[in-house]
């Protein structure tokens, strides 16, 4: 039966990959959660077909005692929900025990945010007397100007960038494309990179927009290290990650008066509530908006 359950997991992951276009990292996370769950059931000698909501709660309780964080618990339960729905839909199981399971409550932690003057210092940190600095400046400008996820940035193809139109068309979650404006500074920075660097470094037929000296595309991990290094060069003491620029992009747009729905579209969020978490607006800005627009605000 172990072999059968493993085949069910493989079939479910294939379904997610083909039908929903999930990334390799997301699929690996789902696979790890499902295998962990099945091994826990096996340790209790409980077949998947007969597992009840009480059994699921017992497994979750043991994981909590082992130190599994609330956010990881939520992802674990999300993996199980999708898996069980798939098994019921495929008539492998007759009922879904997850219908009786509630997700753990989580506090919404706001991502790190940089003030506008800190962003400018970060963008100016690369030494553009060097080819590497020209490339890194172009990547930082693109990230802040467009609010891309780091995976979207490093996977950006040469054909995804239209400097004449001033837009990028990243391939986001669910394999969905969106159109995002770049802005003049980013256009100039990327244009310089294309003119001075990419032609020298890129291998023949390399499709990635941003490449390393070896000729291939840059990894997420490499860019993560780069942005941390440039934060130190800029004298920024707080923790900075690629997502910091994405969150700063969204927040600065809102503080400039952008509509929340527009920011949602630019970020590529399917759910507006996700955008509300990422786009934290300062209390002072809210007070200014209230004074400006409310009939009794002044």
Q: Where in the sequence numbering do the catalytic residues fall?
A: 149, 173, 243, 246, 269, 278
Separation between Cα atoms, residue 61 and residue 157, nearest integer Å: 44
Q: Cα 282 to the chain's mean position, in Å?
A: 23
Q: Cα 172 to the chain's mean position, in Å?
A: 9
Closest to 220 in 3D by CA, of 110, 143, 134: 143
Query: What are residue 167's phi and psi, to 5 degrees?
Result: -140, 160
Decide: 134 and 187 in contact? Cβ < 8 Å: no
Q: 200: how many CB neighbours lie within 10 A of its CB?
A: 10
Decide: 198 and 211 in contact? Cβ < 8 Å: yes
Locate all alpha helices (DSSP H) within 44-115, ordered by sequence.
53-65, 70-89
- CB burial of 32-71 (b: ≥16 within 10 Å; e: otherwise) equals ebbeebbebbeeeebebeebeeebbebbbeebeeeebeee
Separation between Cα atoms, residue 5 and residue 49, nearest integer Å: 9
Closest to 115 in 3D by CA, of 225, 277, 260, 244: 244
What distances in angstroms separate CA 6 from CA 80, 98, 227, one per listed residue?
A: 14, 19, 40
Decide: 277 and 260 in contact? Cβ < 8 Å: no
Q: Cα 29 to the chain's mean position, in Å?
A: 14
Separation between Cα atoms, residue 154 and residue 177, nearest integer Å: 15
């Amino acid at each position: 039966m172990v072999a059968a359950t493993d085949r069910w997991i493989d079939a479910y992951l294939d379904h997610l990959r083909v039908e929903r276009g999930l990334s390799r990292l997301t699929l690996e996370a789902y696979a790890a959660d499902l295998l962990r769950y099945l091994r826990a059931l096996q340790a209790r000698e409980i077949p998947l077909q007969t597992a009840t909501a009480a059994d699921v709660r017992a497994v979750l309780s043991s994981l909590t005692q082992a130190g599994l964080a609330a956010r990881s618990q939520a992802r674990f339960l999300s993996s199980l929900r999708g898996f069980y729905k798939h098994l019921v839909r495929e008539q492998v199981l007759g009922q879904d025990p997850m219908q009786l399971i509630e997700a753990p409550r989580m506090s919404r932690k706001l991502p790190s945010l940089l003030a506008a003057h800190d962003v400018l210092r970060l963008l100016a940190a690369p030494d553009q007397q060097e080819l590497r600095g020209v490339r890194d400046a172009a990547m930082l400008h693109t990230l802040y100007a467009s609010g891309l996820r780091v995976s979207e940035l490093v996977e950006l193809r040469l054909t995804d960038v239209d400097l004449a139109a001033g837009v990028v068309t990243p391939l986001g979650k669910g394999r969905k494309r969106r159109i995002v404006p770049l802005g003049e500074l980013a256009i100039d920075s990327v244009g310089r990179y294309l003119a001075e660097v990419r032609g020298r470094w890129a291998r023949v037929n390399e499709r990635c927009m941003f490449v390393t000296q070896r000729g291939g595309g840059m990894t997420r991990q490499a860019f993560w290290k780069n942005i941390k290094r440039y934060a130190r060069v800029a004298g920024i003491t707080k923790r900075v990650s690629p997502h910091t620029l994405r969150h700063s992009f969204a927040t600065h747009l809102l503080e400039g008066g952008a509509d929340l729905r527009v920011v949602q579209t630019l970020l590529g969020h399917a759910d507006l509530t996700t955008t509300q978490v990422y786009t934290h607006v300062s209390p002072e800005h809210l007070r200014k908006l209230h004074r400006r627009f409310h009939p009794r605000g002044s």
